[in-house]
């Protein structure tokens, strides 16, 4: 069993676990401070006080250090979301809170995320959000959206309700894509996009839930299922 696999398990006590944590925390700090490209593996090793080879012993590649970022970013988002959601019950309101907290908790990593995205976009990369390797993180994020929908007072037909979290996840990915490219002060443009698409999406859900829209809705949902 490689240390990479072992890390996925319990052990905070393991022999090398100390070293592993040290390397990981050092890397995340440097990524945040200096960005991805500027943080070389040599620098991470040096700063952590271990050898280059040793860093590679614990992390198969530089990319593997990023998995930790995903997980951490998700945790921070969920925590912020729980408190911010309060007793908001409209779908539009809940979606707005969801996407705003996502933007807020990601802000510190904006620069890093841009460079990261380059790697994540590679279809061969396990970091790519559509990959099998990312399915755990992806399904977790979709699960969060399912709770956002289920906690709302929106009346959504069962067929749409089943697919809606996945569709909303794609909306989230779209907003993130925009955010990554957003150079505006305080990410103002992304915030505008986020708020207004949250409203728009809620309206579309309402329209799509109308019985008159059933044929079109069926067509779209079948397509999604087929193509997934």
Interacting residues with DNA (CB under 7 A): 1, 3, 14-17, 19, 37, 39-42, 50-54, 56-58, 60-63
What track of x and - describes contact with a second copy for positions 113 through 152 (by CB under 8 A)? -xx-xxxxxxxxx--x-x----------------------
Determine contact, residues 173/164, Cβ cutoff 8 Å. Answer: no
Task: Extract long-range pairs of 116-119: CB within 8 Å, 24+ residues apart.
Answer: 116/36, 116/66, 116/69, 117/180, 119/63, 119/66
Among 61, 181, 210, 218, binds a second copy (CB under 8 A): 181
53 binds, among DNA, a second copy, none (CB under 5 to 8 A by kind): DNA
Sign of the Cα torsion 17, 19, 22, 25 reads negative
Residue of 206, 221, 223 lying closest to 162 (CA atoms): 221
**Distances in whole angstroms, Cα of residue 208 to Cα of each of 101, 200, 203, 225:** 26, 12, 9, 17
121 binds, among a second copy, DNA, none (CB under 5 to 8 A by kind): a second copy
Judged by CB under 8 A, which stretch of 9-17, 62-70, 112-120, 145-153 contacts a second copy?
A: 112-120
* CB count in 10 Å sphere of residue 91: 25
Radius of gyration of the chain (CA): 20
189 binds, among DNA, a second copy, none (CB under 5 to 8 A by kind): a second copy
In whole angstroms, give the CA distance from residue 195 to residue 193. Answer: 6
12 binds, among a second copy, DNA, none (CB under 5 to 8 A by kind): none
Residues contacting a second copy: total by CB under 8 A: 31
50 binds, among a second copy, DNA, none (CB under 5 to 8 A by kind): DNA
In whole angstroms, give the CA distance from residue 49 to residue 54. Answer: 10
Residue 22 Cβ vs DNA, minimum distance, rounded to whole Å: 9
Residue 63 Cβ vs DNA, minimum distance, rounded to whole Å: 6
Residues that bind a second copy (CB under 8 A): 114-115, 117-125, 128, 130, 178, 180-181, 189, 192-193, 196-197, 199-200, 203, 207, 216, 219-220, 223, 226-227
């Amino acid at each position: 069993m490689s240390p990479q696999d072992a890390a996925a398990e319990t052990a905070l006590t393991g022999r090398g676990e100390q070293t592993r944590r040290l390397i990981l925390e050092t890397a995340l700090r440097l990524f945040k401070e200096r960005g991805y490209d500027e943080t070389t593996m040599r620098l991470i090793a040096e700063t952590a006080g271990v050898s280059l080879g040793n860093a590679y012993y614990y992390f198969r590649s530089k990319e593997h250090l990023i998995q930790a970022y995903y997980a951490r970013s998700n945790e921070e988002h969920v925590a912020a979301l729980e408190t911010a959601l309060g007793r908001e019950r409209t779908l539009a309101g809940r979606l707005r809170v969801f996407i705003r907290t996502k933007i807020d908790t990601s802000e510190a990593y904006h620069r890093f995320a841009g460079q990261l995205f380059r790697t994540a976009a590679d279809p061969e990369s396990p970091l790519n959000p559509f990959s099998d390797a990312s399915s755990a993180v992806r399904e977790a994020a979709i699960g969060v959206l399912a709770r956002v929908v289920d906690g709302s007072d929106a009346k959504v037909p069962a067929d749409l309700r089943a697919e809606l979290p996945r569709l909303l996840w794609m909306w989230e990915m779209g907003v993130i894509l925009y955010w990554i490219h957003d150079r505006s002060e305080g990410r103002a443009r992304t915030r505008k996009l986020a708020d207004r698409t949250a409203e728009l999406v809620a309206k579309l859900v309402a329209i799509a839930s109308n019985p008159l829209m059933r044929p079109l809705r069926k067509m779209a949902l079948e397509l999604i299922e087929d193509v997934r």
